[in-house]
Amino acid sequence: MTSITKEDIVEPWPRPYTGGIVSENQLDFFLKTATRNDKQPVVIFGANWCPDARVFSAVLNVPSVGEFIEKYYQILYLNVNNYDQNTNLMNYLGDENLKGLPLVLVFDKACKLLNLSQSREWRTARDRDPQDVLDYFQSLVR
């Protein structure tokens, strides 16, 4: 796989945070469905007003990154709007800090959260090397 650079990030950046309120039951269903599909669940909290959340999503859309993600992971984007929707699910999944987007939670196939201590790492995604995103997900494959 070749290295990913900032030139690979195509504008306009995606706006994946379009959904409404998600219940705990719906979230649990996503986690179980992903594992039944032999994928690791990834839950990404963000908002379309947040450039870091959009850049992070843009990196995931780079073809070589997307192919890797599709092979190992299943992603659910959760819209927090203005921190007034779905933030209860952050607590439900174990994150009590409501600061900084995107919040990226990666689980193993037993739905165990793998990266709580690094889950806010991507709130500076626009300043990071896009290759870091791919390296990060490669390091979490179980």
In a structure prediction context, what are the per-residue pLDDT tens digits for the chain, which is 142 residues long? 568 888 888 888 999 999 899 999 999 999 999 999 999 999 999 999 999 999 999 999 999 999 999 999 999 999 999 999 999 999 999 888 778 899 999 999 999 999 988 888 999 999 999 999 999 999 999 9
Q: How many domains does the chain have?
A: 1
Q: Give the separation between CA 133 and CA 24, rounded to whole angstroms.
A: 27
CATH code of residue 87: 3.40.30.10
How far is it, in rounded angstroms, from Cα 53 to Cα 101? Answer: 6
Whole-model pTM: value is 0.94
Give the domain range for residue 116. 13-139
DSSP H/E element including 45 = strand 40-46
**Does residue 8 sit within a domain?**
no
Please check whether residue 3 lies inside any domain of the structure: no
